[in-house]
Amino acid sequence: MKKIIRTERLPIKLWTNRIEEGALRQAKNLANHPCAFKHIAIMPDVHEGYGMPIGGVMAIKEALIPNAVGVDIGCGVCAVKTDVDNLEKKQIKTIVYKIKSAVPTGFKWHSTPIYKDKMPKISSEELNPIACKEYKKAVRQLGTLGGGNHFIELQKGKDNYIWIMIHSGSRNLGKQVADIYNRYAIKFNEKLSDPIPKNRQLAYLPINNTKGRQYKAEMEYCVAFAFANRQAMMEKSLEIFSDVAGAIKCEPLINIAHNYACYENHFKKDLFIHRKGATSAKKGEIGIIPGSQGANSFIVKGKNNPESFASCSHGTGRRLGRKQAIKNLNLKKEIEALDKKGILHFIKSRKDLDEAAGAYKDINAVMKNQSDLLEIIEKLEPLAVIKG
């Protein structure tokens, strides 16, 4: 931990010495929230979000805040280590272009429900009205990457064995759930005798409220859907990898989510831990912290630090907003930096700069700032990246 701010109702504990003004304002809003418990934890990849900063961890008794989970519910990363320790550049290129052809990106979906057998089962129509309504669309979104910072990467460890890493979430299903229940939370908040200021975007739903119970069930369904989505893409990616590189063996899949709320016990209290752009880092828990495009990624093991509610960062964190990156970064320099490392990438024009390495923080500095939260067990070097 680098710093503690004690000017608000609850302390704010930061694993960074630098936090932008907007993210700090949001952290203070969290610390003054009537439902917040103990303290607010801010990870080293922090940057401004909606209501709650990305890289924030918040504990709440008996309530859930849709904006403290976010719109891409269950978004996370999975990774698989293969037994292949040598790929020619031609093979890498073939694998990447075949994956790019097979996995829809951006706003594209599958034309038919290819992975229907992987869809999580809906336990209750009463508790999952949005999931039921969106089911026919969602089943076609399963096995699709989405846009923004979502990616599929080929990487290698220090032992040269090849890894496949995938970052994606709950697609449009998660956004629908987030938006609809945030509106319910706003309506509930308006009826309170002392409502939370609307501009803070932190309206909540009590868990004993019907909408609160529904949001919990829908959120958990979205987390399961997002995991199934990553599994489907990993299955397809490994199939293509095997077609090109020959029969392969893989170690068990590692998966971790970073936009969700989970009922956990901390400081001898049962609490809803909201992690928005943060991942669980319980004792011995294996996690993944990806770097920006062209930077190293890390496989880590949690240390169960109570001060972070057993959490760590979910990535490297943005340094520049998307529009700011497109406007200010040098396209030629960003391309040259990736080409120099021999990374196969898809930065071709100025509009691609929103996801360039220069738009993100230094992953090595981020990892150094959270050495009390995790142990690094594998450092991975990028070989090729497909961006949404």
pLDDT tens for each residue of 1-11: 999 999 999 99
Q: Is residue 58 part of a domain?
A: yes
- The average pLDDT across 345-356 equals 92
CB atoms within 10 A of CB 245: 18
Q: What domain range includes position 14?
A: 3-319+360-387
pLDDT at 319: 93
Q: Tens digits of per-residue pLDDT, 286-330?
A: 999 999 988 999 999 999 999 999 999 999 999 999 999 999 999
Q: Is 149 among the domain residues?
A: yes
Which CA distances in Å does 272 have to 9, 161, 262?
A: 19, 38, 5
More confident call, 123 vs 60: 60
341 lies in a domain?
A: no
Q: What's the confidence (pLDDT) of residue 67? A: 97
pTM equals: 0.96
156 pLDDT higher than 90: yes
Calculate mean pLDDT across residues 211-228.
98
Q: What confidence score (pLDDT) does residue 254 get? A: 98
Asked if residue 244 is part of any domain, the answer here is yes
- pLDDT over 90 (residue 241): yes
- Read off the CATH number of the domain in which 270 is found: 3.90.1860.10
Length of the chain: 388
Flag whether pLDDT at 251 surpasses 90.
Answer: yes
Structural domain contains residue 170: yes
Average pLDDT, the chain: 96
Using pLDDT thresholds of 50, 70 and 90, give the confidence band for residue 60. Answer: very high
Sign, CA dihedral 332-334-340-345, equals negative
Active-site positions read: 314
Spatial separation of the C-alpha atoms in residues 324 and 41, rounded to whole Å: 27
> Is residue 314 within 8 Å of residue 278, measured between CB atoms?
yes
- Per the domain annotation, does 287 fall within a domain? yes
pLDDT of residue 326: 95
Residues 341-354 have a mean pLDDT of 93
Supply the Cα-derived Rg of the chain in whole angstroms.
20
Q: pLDDT tens, 84-126?
A: 999 999 999 999 999 999 999 999 999 999 999 999 999 889 9
Name the domain count of the chain. 1
pLDDT for 123? 86
Q: Is residue 332 part of a domain?
A: no
pLDDT for position 388? 78
Model pLDDT, residue 277 = 97
Say if 345 falls within a structural domain.
Answer: no
For the cut 90, the answer to whether the pLDDT of residue 209 exceeds it is yes
